[in-house]
Amino acid sequence: MAHVVEIKDLHKSFGELEVLKGIDFTVDQGHVVCIIGPSGSGKSTLLRCVNLLEQPSKGTVRVGGVELTDPDVDIDAARRRLGMVFQSFNLFPHMTVLQNVMIAQRRVLKRGKGDAERIARENLEKVGVADKCDAFPPQLSGGQQQRVAIARALAMDPDLMLFDEPTSALDPELVGDVLSVMRKLARDGMTMLVVTHEMSFAREVADRVVFMDGGVVVEEGPPAQVIGAPRHERTRTFLKRVLDPTHAGDDAPGPEDAPEPAR
């Protein structure tokens, strides 16, 4: 099976601080890989190295067979194959929802107005906010705004979607709508790399889970193993905290009941 993402011996330092200390893993076509791990373990830095918002200090990152870390690579062309969804939605507040989903299609992909609008509407439909085309982002709930941000990324026809804690800024009652859009994308065969604290989502949707701590991959494998039966003490300690931050250890509830961890 083709690897959409291939990361080899990836290191990243900020000055003296080595944040990524040799990361290796792959994401296969159509797979969902969830990255979990404590705050500061380097999860966002890893995603930012995959889309070259950060320059790795050492190692290689390949996406769709193109080595992004090759100094001669066309960075803009390579980045165009990636959709990125962050914790904050970064929509333009003075543009309508429809315009927000059209603008990069027009400017970056040079699509005509008619095509861009049709594709925008299709993707807004897919994420369930088609009725908000003419609204402005500040008039939408956080969950609706995040779904617009997902539609905006999808409209660029990415080979890979990167998500960095897409639900952690949302009120709890809005998290479900965003996760169900992500579930649907996964079912439709989108290749996804997702940093998340939503253990029930990871358990249900991920093909593989990567647990990071201190800039290394401590363990990875199918969710039933990494979340259900972790081999390493560090993974167990982390999961206990995430699944039940207040009563770690005593009669912890199932992952379905997991509250958002304190951050």
Ligand X SMILES: Nc1ncnc2c1ncn2[C@@H]1O[C@H](COP(=O)(O)OP(=O)(O)OP(=O)(O)O)[C@@H](O)[C@H]1O
CB nearer Mg ion, residue 120 or residue 212: 212
- Answer with the entry of ligand X, Mg ion, none that 191 interacts with (C-beta below 5 to 8 A by kind): none
216-235 positions binding ligand X, by CB under 6 A: none
Beta strand 216-221 pairing with 208-213: antiparallel
Q: Sheet containing 216-221: give its strands across.
A: 82-85, 160-164, 192-195, 32-36, 208-213, 216-221
List of residues contacting Mg ion (CB under 5 A): 44
Stretch that binds ligand X, among 11-19, 23-31, 62-70, 133-141 (CB under 6 A): 11-19
Among 5, 19, 116, 148, contact with ligand X (rule: CB under 6 A): 19
What is the DSSP code string of 179-207?
A: HHHHHHHHHTT--EEEE-S-HHHHHHH-S
Nearest distance in Å: CB 252, ligand X: 21
Stretch that binds ligand X, among 12-20, 26-34, 176-184, 238-246 (CB under 6 A): 12-20
Q: What are phi and psi of 130, to 5 degrees?
A: -60, -30
Nearest distance in Å: CB 40, Mg ion: 8
CB nearer Mg ion, residue 44 or residue 196: 44
- The number of residues that bind ligand X (CB under 6 A) is 11
Q: Which residue is nearest to Mg ion (CB)?
A: 44
CB nearer Mg ion, residue 44 or residue 100: 44
Stretch that binds ligand X, among 13-21, 91-99, 229-237, 245-253 (CB under 6 A): 13-21
Can you count the helices (H) and strands (E) in the chain?
9, 10
Residue 48: its H or E element: helix 43-50
CB nearer ligand X, residue 39 or residue 139: 39
- Answer with the entry of ligand X, Mg ion, none that 40 interacts with (C-beta below 5 to 8 A by kind): ligand X
The one-letter amino acid code at 108 reads V
Nearest distance in Å: CB 210, ligand X: 12
- Answer with the entry of ligand X, Mg ion, none that 92 interacts with (C-beta below 5 to 8 A by kind): none
Residue 100: its H or E element: helix 97-107
CB nearer ligand X, residue 39 or residue 90: 39
Nearest-angstrom CA–CA distance, 240 and 249: 7
Burial 75-109 (b: 16+ CB within 10 A, else e): eeebbbbbbbbbbebebeeeebbbbbbbbbbbeee
35-54 positions binding ligand X, by CB under 6 A: 37, 39-45
Q: Do the beta carbons of residue 5 and residue 50 sit within 8 Å?
A: yes
Angle at 211 between CA 208 and CA 216, to 5 degrees: 125
Q: Which residues bind ligand X (CB under 6 A)?
A: 14, 17, 19, 37, 39-45
